[in-house]
Structure 1
Amino acid sequence: MGNSQGMDYSDNQVTLYTSQSQVVVDQLRQSGRHVVDAAFIKEKYGETAHVFLQAYSWYRQHASKIVERPRDADSAIWTFLNAKYLDYSADSRLIKLRVPIEKIVFFRMSDWNRILNLRLLGTEEEQVKYSDKLKRYNVDYEGDVYTTAFYPHLKTELVCSWQKLFQYDDEIKATKQLPFEDIQGGIWEIQHSWVESLLEWKI
């Protein structure tokens, strides 16, 4: 496990950072709240959206068991405890939030990236063993296990491994310590009252 470090926590709230468009900032000011619509994901990822939507759908189903999902929230909003992990774009605004800890689902960014790419989530040894199985079945692209119906047993193993995404959530909420630097937080909404400030990008 990585070097444990404290997070910015006080009064049951955690400091998080998120990158959002000016449209989202305006919506927060006008309505006091922002949630993600599935149409946004389709627009963001274009032709590859169907692959990402499958991963997002899995996350929505399982993360909602940890933090209840509002009905109008089609997907999570990604936040980080360290602003350096945020993606910069010309239209984006860097938002600093103070969010109640019980509203956050904690996980590693590197783990989520494996799920986004429809890959096994496990130790290095588990990944090597799974890779060997794929070779025995002549599977060249790991994502085919999930997107086709040809490998049901391999798909079961793959999807079961994704549950490890949430393995640090309870520990972080109990200890207020981050076991790895690349911890991010999924939240279902941004409430205007959670916005502490709009920051300038340092690039």
Structure 2
Amino acid sequence: MIYCQNVKNNKIKLWTRQHKNVLKEIEEKGEYIVKKDYIKEKNDTIADYYIKLYDWYSSKADKIVSRPEGVSYPIWLSTSKELSLQPVEGTVILELEVDIRNVVLTNFEKWGYVVNYWYVPINKEDEIKHKEELKKYNIYDESALIMSSKGNFYPLLKNKIINSWERIFEVNDKNPGMTQATIWQIKKEWIVDILYK
């Protein structure tokens, strides 16, 4: 079941901010896919951090919507025009209309937990229980369980955190503003509007 207000006739409207060269590539090639070099260039010194996250995300998202051959990483989009990233110098906002079968929906707030290498709780009670468990082991920075060798000493906790990340794929209609999307490519025919700065 799809929990987005802007789905009509199995199509969903999405918005993404991209470098202006992405639009040029779409116009020349008819499509755009993310390359590892783009992630490295955009994220500079923290690129490896994001590549590790995107590798995890891509392997999970591929089970929901299969990646086309030659595609490694997703393109991130907003499901709300009002909440989408605004244009900055050298960028464009693309408004797309995409068949819902090509879209992976995730919970924006839960993705924030994953980006910080935190446990994604089921609910408030579960979050409190998890924090109490960390406290019991004198762990005050749970991201260290993923980012450092500390996780080797607590493999069950480390796995518990990583396994919780799959909850980002649980979206609901109670808070549609917390829904975001990814697709594996942008096809020229999916673009319905281009907003320039």
Q: Normalised by the size of structure 1, how large is the TM-score?
A: 0.85
Query: After TM superposition, where is structure 1 displaced by more than 4 Å over at least 4 residues in a row?
Result: none
SS class of match (1:129): helix
Structure 2 gap ranges (5+) = none
Moved more, 47-56 or 187-196: 47-56
**Counterpart-to-counterpart distance in 2, 1:26 and 1:99:** 20
**Structure 1 gaps, min length 5:** none
Aligned to 1:135: 135
CA offsets, 1:114-173, max 9 Å, x none? Answer: 1111111112222222222222222232211112323211111101111111123xxx7x
Between the aligned partners of 1:22 and 1:91, the Cα distance in structure 2 is: 6
Superimposed CA distance per residue, residues 49-97 of structure 1 (whole angstroms, 9 cap, x where no aligned partner): 2222222111101110000012322211111111233333212111110
Q: 1:91 matched to which residue of 2?
A: 90
Q: Map residues 102-141 of structure 1 onto 2, 5 A cutoff.
A: 102-122=101-121, 123-141=123-141
- Asked if 1:160 is matched to 2:160, the reply is no
The reply to whether residue 53 of structure 1 matches residue 51 of structure 2 is yes
Instruction: Map 1:1-203; keep pairs closer than 5 Å.
Output: 7-88=5-86, 89-122=88-121, 123-147=123-147, 148=149, 149-168=152-171, 179-200=175-196
Write out per-residue CA displacement over residues 18-42 of structure 1, whole angstroms, 9 at most, x where no aligned residue: 1111000000000001111122222
2: CA distance between counterparts of 1:180 and 1:46? 32
Deviates more, 1:91-100 or 1:70-79: 70-79
Aligned Cα RMSD in Å? 2.1
Q: How far is 1:178 from its partner?
A: 6.9
Aligned-residue sequence identity (percent) comes to: 26
Structure 1 distance, partners of 2:40, 2:52, is: 12
Contact 1:79–1:186 (CA<8 Å) still a contact in 2? Answer: yes
Distance of 1:152 and 1:39 partners within structure 2: 32
